[in-house]
A and B are shown apart, each in its own frame.
Chain A
Amino acid sequence: MLKIKNISKQYKDFTLDNFSFSVNSGDYFILLGESGTGKSLLLEIIAGLITPDKGEVFLNNINITFKKIQKRNIGLVFQDYAVFPHLTVKNNIAYALKAKKLKKKTINKKTIEWAEKMNISHLLERQPKTLSGGELQRVALARTLALEPVCLLLDEPLSSLDIHLRKELRYLLRKINNEGITIVHVTHDFEEAIALANKIGIIHNGKIVQEGTPKEVFHNPKSKFVANLSGIKNFYNAKIKSDEIVMLENSIEFKHFSGRTHGSGFVMFHSKDVVVSKNQIDSSMSNNFQGVIVDMIPTKHGVEVIIDIGIIISALITQNSVDKFNLSKDSSVWVGIKALAIKFVENK
Chain B
Amino acid sequence: MKNNYSALNLIFIFLGSIVLLFIVAPLLGMLLNTSPAELIETTKDEEVQKSICLTLTTSFLSTIVFAIAAIPMAYLLARKDFPMKQLVLGIIDLPIVIPHSAAGIAILGFISRDSVIGRIAESVGLNFVGNPAGIAIAMAFVSIPFLLNAARDGFMGVPERLEKAALNLGASPTRVFFTISLPLAWRNIVSGLILMFARGMSEFGAVVIVAYHPMITPVLIYDRFGAFGLKYARPISVVFIIVCLVFFIILRMLAKEKKTQ
Q: Identify the A interface with B (CB < 8 A).
A: 44, 47-49, 69-70, 74-76, 78, 80, 82, 84-86, 95-96, 99-100, 143-144, 147
Contacts and interface: CB of A to CB of B under 8 A. Distances in A.
B165 interface: yes
A76 B161 CA distance: 11
Contacts, number: 53
Interface stretch (B139-147, B170-178, B220-228): B170-178
A48 B173 CA distance: 13
Interface string B136-167: 00000000000000000000000101101111
Contact of B169 (A44, A86, A96): A96
A100 B170 contact: yes
Contacts of A100: 170
Contact of B172 (A49, A70, A86): A70
Contacts of B164: 44, 49, 78, 82
Given A69-B167, A86-B183, A86-B184, A99 B161 contact: no
Given A84-B180, A86-B183, A86-B184, A95 B166 contact: yes
Interface of B: 159, 161-162, 164-172, 175, 179-180, 183-184
Given A70-B172, A144-B169, 5 more contacts: A74-B168, A75-B169, A82-B164, A85-B162, A99-B175
A106 B168 CA distance: 21
Nearest to A75: B168
B170 A70 contact: yes
Contact of B170 (A44, A82, A96): A96
Contacts of A69: 167-168
**Which 7 residue pairs are nearest across A and B when measured between Cβ atoms?**
A82-B165, A96-B169, A99-B170, A99-B171, A69-B167, A82-B161, A76-B168
B95 to A, nearest CB: 32
B167 A82 contact: no
A283 to B, nearest CB: 58
A48 B165 CA distance: 11
Contacts of B172: 70, 99
A297 B146 CA distance: 59
B165 to A, nearest CB: 4
Contacts of B165: 76, 78, 82, 84
17 contacts: A47-B168, A49-B167, A70-B167, A74-B168, A75-B169, A76-B165, A78-B164, A82-B165, A85-B162, A95-B166, A95-B171, A96-B171, A99-B169, A99-B171, A100-B170, A144-B168, A144-B169
A77 to B, nearest CB: 9
A110 to B, nearest CB: 13
Nearest to A143: B169
A140 B164 CA distance: 13
A95 B183 contact: no
A78 B164 CA distance: 10
Contacts of B180: 84
Nearest to A146: B169
A263 to B, nearest CB: 48
Contacts of B179: 95
A75 B161 CA distance: 14
A26 B112 CA distance: 70
A84 B170 contact: no
Given A86-B183, A99-B175, A147 B161 contact: no
